[in-house]
Chains A and B, each alone.
Chain A
Amino acid sequence: MSSREPLWFCHECHAEMRPLMVPDPVCASCQGSFVEKMENPADDPREFAHHGPGDFDAEGLPPGMDAFLFGLQALVDRGTAEGRTQPSRVGSGNGASGNRLTFQISGGSSQRPNIGGRSGSGTGSSGPVPTIFIRRDSDTPQGTSITGPLMAQYLMALLGQRDPLNDLVGRDLSDGRMGDYVFNQEALDQIITQLMENSNAHRPVPATEEIISNLPREVLEYGSPMLEKDCAVCKEQFKLETEDPDEQVVVTLPCKHPFHEPCILPWLKSSGTCPVCRHALIPQPEHQSPPAGGPSTNPDSARHSPDSSRSRSPRRDPDGHDATGILHSLFGGFVGGRGHTQAGGNGHNRSNSDPALRSSGRGTDSRNNVPGSWEDLD
């Protein structure tokens, strides 16, 4: 290509263009948000549009694919029947036009299963209950169980590109949050702020009552060598005449640093360390983080600088990547990996979504995670 910057491909109107980037990339011609950067020649999004995912052969859908798509259709019907008044429709027109969810399944001359989903301003539907979406079936020993309706909702959320779940759930998601899931930058920022404010992991560990009560105490008396010394907390010299009799009690830490009892006790209850030398009365978290290790390998990154945790964003990439990712995972799992890995394993997928999706499809994930969940935020 002669141009320096790669063009983008719009999965909605199939235009190749340079998107409008604010706040998220949208198609310059149809304003759709299902756009994908064409930066990887090995994963040309046009291939997806023109030839379908992978290499379906010329005789039509792979064996069983019909049944699978109809099964998916049924799941979607069930999923949407809970909360939507608009029914899904089979085989009607262009998947990306209008407010209706359409699943077009064609087996004839056009060998492409075209799953298009796009709901417009949903009319008066109350939407699925949020909790169903984030539920974990912990008592299922077989790994993640994503129920049919749940998967259907998830799939539709990914396909409903504009504001993924807004369309489904309507006003309930106006703040872009649903449990730990976020659907726009602002909601993500809020969650991160929350994490930054609430995180306890790097806070000092207070000394226990037992440790505190076992510290040696000395009541000052005439001639005590202690009278030569200062309390490092209040910076006062130890002295005999005090308003508060407690101040004549000196606590000496194991590191030999002495303090007024009323000065050191409140400190030890917030941090079990010596104020002077940081001697730890109780094991403390490391003050410094591990020097290396990117955000993906460092489980602590979520609470750190907002920048490093950004990479954990469930919506970092334009949604097209995730949507194609999940579709490829689905189809790949179904047809036994018949040549679909090439597109499914493209570099755009976030590292934490792809394995989760895959393994959940096979039921071998031991972590019981819904796709895209934040795995290690406990």
Chain B
Amino acid sequence: MTSISARRLGKELTEIKAEGCPVGINLVKADDFATWWFTIEVMGESLYQGEKYTLQFRFDSNYPISSPAVQFVVGDGKVSPVHPHVYSNGHICASILGNEWSPVLSVIAVCVTIQSMLASCKKKERPTDNDRYIRFAPDNPKKTRFHYDDDTV
């Protein structure tokens, strides 16, 4: 039971509940150590002003050795932000979710990174390969090997 993942997530959750989330990030649900939801808003002036998105984390038993599967929740009135690195199915092309994941990162650290990714966006547009990608995208974004070719946004 006290797997590394459960202990680590328990510790993160305790801290979130004790100290709260950073501004613009709110815990929606964390009923187990499998799936957590957060809402994300970009504070201050940005293209996403006044918009709120839901970010889903899925953990496997190897967390934090293996990265969480992170994506925006789509459906049921929720949409993914229009962003060059966010596909319309909610998948996110971000290196820290893939081969630059490190167990030092945490759920909150990922939230903050995604938040700042939105905040620095200069043009609301989908990835150029969006239509093609979502047709064959695996359910779990971790199964996609994204190519991180652009660190400007």
Residues of A within 8 A of B (CB): 189-190, 192-193, 196-197, 199, 202-204, 232-236, 243, 262-263, 266-267, 270, 273, 275-276, 278, 287-289, 300, 303-308, 310
11 A-B pairs within 8 Å (CB atoms) are namely A196-B144, A197-B145, A232-B103, A233-B8, A234-B8, A235-B12, A266-B65, A270-B65, A270-B66, A303-B147, A305-B146
Q: Which of A199, A263, A308, A310 contacts B145 (CB 8 A)?
A: A199
- Closest 5 pairs (CB-CB, A-B): A304-B147, A307-B129, A193-B136, A306-B129, A233-B103
> Is B100 an interface position by the 8 A CB rule?
yes
Judge whether B147 and A266 touch: CB under 8 Å: no
B133 to chain A, nearest CB (A): 6
Q: Which of B11, B99, B136 contacts A235 (CB 8 A)?
A: B11
Q: What mask results when residues 46 to 75 of chain B are scored 1 for a CB within 8 Å of chain A, else 0?
A: 000000000000000010111000000000
Q: What mask results when residues 5 to 38 of chain B are scored 1 for a CB within 8 Å of chain A, else 0?
A: 0011001100000000000000000000000000
Chain A neighbourhood of B103, CB < 8 A? 232-233, 263, 267, 275
Query: What is the CA–CA distance of A233 and B146 in the complex, to the nearest angstrom?
Result: 25
Judge whether A236 and B143 touch: CB under 8 Å: no
Main secondary structure of the interface of B (DSSP, over half): loop
Closest chain A residue to B149, Cβ basis: A289
> Is B95 an interface position by the 8 A CB rule?
yes
Q: What mask results when residues 91 to 124 of chain B are scored 1 for a CB within 8 Å of chain A, else 0?
A: 0010100011011101000000000000000000
Q: Which of A189, A243, A263, A305 contacts B136 (CB 8 A)?
A: A189
Query: What is the CA–CA distance of A17 and B133 in the complex, to the nearest angstrom?
Result: 33
Chain A neighbourhood of B147, CB < 8 A? 202, 289, 300, 303-305, 308
Q: Given the known inter-chain contacts A196-B144, A202-B99, A233-B104, please indicate yes or no for A310 contacting B132, CB distance below 8 A.
A: yes
Q: Given the known inter-chain contacts A235-B11, A306-B132, please indicate yes or no for A243 contacting B145, CB distance below 8 A.
A: no
> Is B151 an interface position by the 8 A CB rule?
yes
Within 8 A of A (CB), among B124-144: 127-129, 132-133, 135-138, 143-144
Q: Given the known inter-chain contacts A232-B104, A234-B8, please indicate yes or no for A305 contacting B149, CB distance below 8 A.
A: yes
Query: What is the CA–CA distance of A230 and B145 in the complex, to the nearest angstrom?
Result: 32
Judge whether B99 and A204 touch: CB under 8 Å: yes
Sorting the interface of chain B by its residue count into under 10, 10 to 19, 20 to 34 or 35 or more gives 35 or more
Chain B neighbourhood of A236, CB < 8 A? 7, 11
Chain B neighbourhood of A267, CB < 8 A? 65, 103
Query: What is the CA–CA distance of A202 and B4 in the complex, to the nearest angstrom?
Result: 27
Q: Which of B7, B145, B148 contacts A196 (CB 8 A)?
A: B145
Query: What is the CA–CA distance of A243 and B129 in the complex, to the nearest angstrom?
Result: 50
Q: Which of A235, A288, A307 contacts B151 (CB 8 A)?
A: A288
Chain B neighbourhood of A189, CB < 8 A? 132, 135-136
Query: What is the CA–CA distance of A172 and B149 in the complex, to the nearest angstrom?
Result: 38
Q: A204-B99, A236-B11 are in contact. List 9 more A-B contacts (CB 8 A).
A: A189-B132, A193-B137, A203-B99, A233-B64, A263-B103, A287-B99, A287-B148, A304-B149, A306-B133
Query: What is the CA–CA distance of A310 and B127 in the complex, to the nearest angstrom?
Result: 14
Query: What is the CA–CA distance of A204 and B65 in the complex, to the nearest angstrom?
Result: 13
Judge whether A275 and B102 touch: CB under 8 Å: yes
Chain B neighbourhood of A278, CB < 8 A? 102
Query: What is the CA–CA distance of A234 and B133 in the complex, to the nearest angstrom?
Result: 35
A113 to chain B, nearest CB (A): 40
Query: What is the CA–CA distance of A263 and B65 in the complex, to the nearest angstrom?
Result: 8
Query: What is the CA–CA distance of A148 and B14 in the complex, to the nearest angstrom?
Result: 72
Judge whether B144 and A197 touch: CB under 8 Å: yes
Query: What is the CA–CA distance of A306 and B93 in the complex, to the nearest angstrom?
Result: 12
Chain B neighbourhood of A273, CB < 8 A? 102
